[in-house]
Structure 1
Amino acid sequence: MTREQDRRRPVGLGLRAWVTTKLVRRVLRFLAWSRLVRVTVIDRDAVPVRGPVLVASNHISMLDAVFLWGALRRRAMAVAMAELWTWPVVGVLVRGLGHIPVIRRDPDSGRAALEQAEWVLRHGGVLIIYPEGRCVRPGEVEPYKPGVAKLALRTGVPIVPVGTTGTNDVLPLGGADGRGRIDRTRPVTIRFGPPIDPAGFDSPEALLTHLRERIEELRG
């Protein structure tokens, strides 16, 4: 990271991102209020109202990011698959909101993403990260990638664990009901847990193990 970049505020903390966040979240919350989607958010106040924080969740559907990002009260940036930047409409949104692209199985891209993520945290931002690194189908187990733990230990930023359930019923991997349709009648729950202080851990491995245990507890 260059000194010039370090002085600049991340795009996601700028005025345009603030306005976009407000507008999109109003739409998402209207959908929840009107019961067009059935979502329950529990203990969102676990996310500090100010200061840098990492938000880490399990990943079971392409809709996870929409529900989790929409559940937050603060602006947030996410580390997300680079393919989203090529999608119509979605690509415009992820750029404007300052999300961070990462090419899967590309070590150079991974390092660049972590550098940008640290930049966000150094400026007091909220960063969403999925430690599994990809959507995980029911019955599968994916090892957690060490990036979230390394970021927390390097910066001293707490991690708020999140258990997400139900999004894979609304939109399973490969498309709902095999025809690509979303089943909005299925309930979704986003449950936040108390922040984890990285100072209590002496290695990324120990922190990752604890984080996975907390997320699994929150999933029920």
Structure 2
Amino acid sequence: MADQKAEATKPIAYDGPERVYPPVIAAAHVWFRAMGVTVTVDGAHHVPRTGPVVLASNHVSYLDFIFAGWGARPSKRLTRFMAKEAVFTHKISGPLMRGMKHIPVDRDAGMGSFREALRALKAGEVVGVFPEATISRSFTVKEIKSGAVRMAMASKAPLVPVAVWGGQRLWTKGRPRRLLQRKVPILVYIGEPLTPQRGDDPEAATVELRRRMQDLLDRAQRDYPDRPAGPDDRWWLPAHLGGTAPTPEEAAALDAAATH
């Protein structure tokens, strides 16, 4: 485990060859085609084609890094996502995550992860962040942390809000994996960038970011082409849309219980 942790925390060579990311993208293409998964991206033009970018996405499934990253593909960008360190020390996911140059987050030493994200942005990379930190069981946008805003301020990078919807039907917290489910539509909605500046109030900018993320998610939920197949299939809809997902208050209680 110590060796795996040391490997996970090695400096990332952003200017090195991309040996892992392109095959992973190709594999995702094959999976989409085989399962009839459709990924519709709206607002891809909001992702700059060059220079540092912070993508801030909501979090409804374990597959969100695939779909949120897909939103940057029309701009021919690869997104380096920040993810919990345990994913990087796993014997299967670890080599893939490191090979794709994603950024491990040690929650006991968060400043190191922040500095690595700034190093990636300085190198002109797209850094993906899930400001909710964990999957939202309610399928609404939870309270978010200010890290994405602070990164954008420190690097002078545009902060691009993203909403993903549909991936929870394939794999989410508290539900069995359904990766072989066919014909699941995925929507990825990308909003106009925010441009927080040094000296701005990061907390106020974070409130605005959350509002924009929720607005994008509301629109994606309205536009989603599928509806539950019956009463037992309403689990993937939020309570305010007639689904049986926990309310935000119930979800917060579940998350609190899970940490004890």
- Per the shorter chain, which TM-score range? 0.7 to 0.9
Residue type matched to 2:129 in 1? I
Q: Is the 8 A contact 1:77 1:99 kept in 2?
A: yes
Partner of 1:11: 13
Partner of 2:211: 213
* TM-score between the two structures when normalised by the length of structure 2: 0.72
Size of the alignment, in residue pairs? 204
Aligned to 2:68, what secondary structure does the other structure show? helix
Aligned to 1:160, what secondary structure does the other structure show? strand
Q: Is the 8 A contact 1:12 1:96 kept in 2?
A: no
State how far apart, in whole Å, the 2-side matches of 1:139 and 1:96 are.
30
Instruction: Mark the runs of 5 or more structure 2 residues left unpaired by the alignment.
Output: 1-10, 220-260
Moved more, 115-124 or 40-49: 40-49
Deviations 1:70-111 (A, max 9, x none): 34221221110111113233111111122111134x2x2x11
Structure 1 residue 159, shift from structure 2 partner: 0.6
Is 1:185 the counterpart of 2:183? The answer is yes
Gap change, CA 1:201 and 1:136, over 3 Å in 2: farther
Partner of 1:98: 101
What is the identity percentage for the equivalent residue pairs of Structure 1 and Structure 2? Answer: 32
Structure 1 residue 131, shift from structure 2 partner: 0.6
State how far apart, in whole Å, the 1-side matches of 2:215 and 2:142 are.
17
State how far apart, in whole Å, the 1-side matches of 2:84 and 2:198 are.
31
Q: Is the 8 A contact 2:143 2:210 kept in 1?
A: no
Structure 1 residue 132, shift from structure 2 partner: 0.7
* TM-score between the two structures when normalised by the length of structure 1: 0.84
Residue type matched to 2:106 in 1? I
Partner of 2:88: 85
Instruction: Mark the runs of 5 or more structure 1 residues left unpaired by the alignment.
Output: 1-8
Residue type matched to 1:131 in 2? P
Gap change, CA 1:114 and 1:184, over 3 Å in 2: farther
Partner of 2:144: 144
Residue type matched to 2:178 in 1? R
Partner of 1:204: 202
State how far apart, in whole Å, the 2-side matches of 1:149 and 1:11 are.
24
Partner of 1:175: 175
Q: Considering only aligned residues, what root-mean-square deviation do their CA atoms show, in Å? A: 2.1
Partner of 1:3: none
Gap change, CA 1:141 and 1:159, over 3 Å in 2: closer
Q: Is the 8 A contact 1:29 1:70 kept in 2?
A: no
Aligned to 1:19, what secondary structure does the other structure show? coil
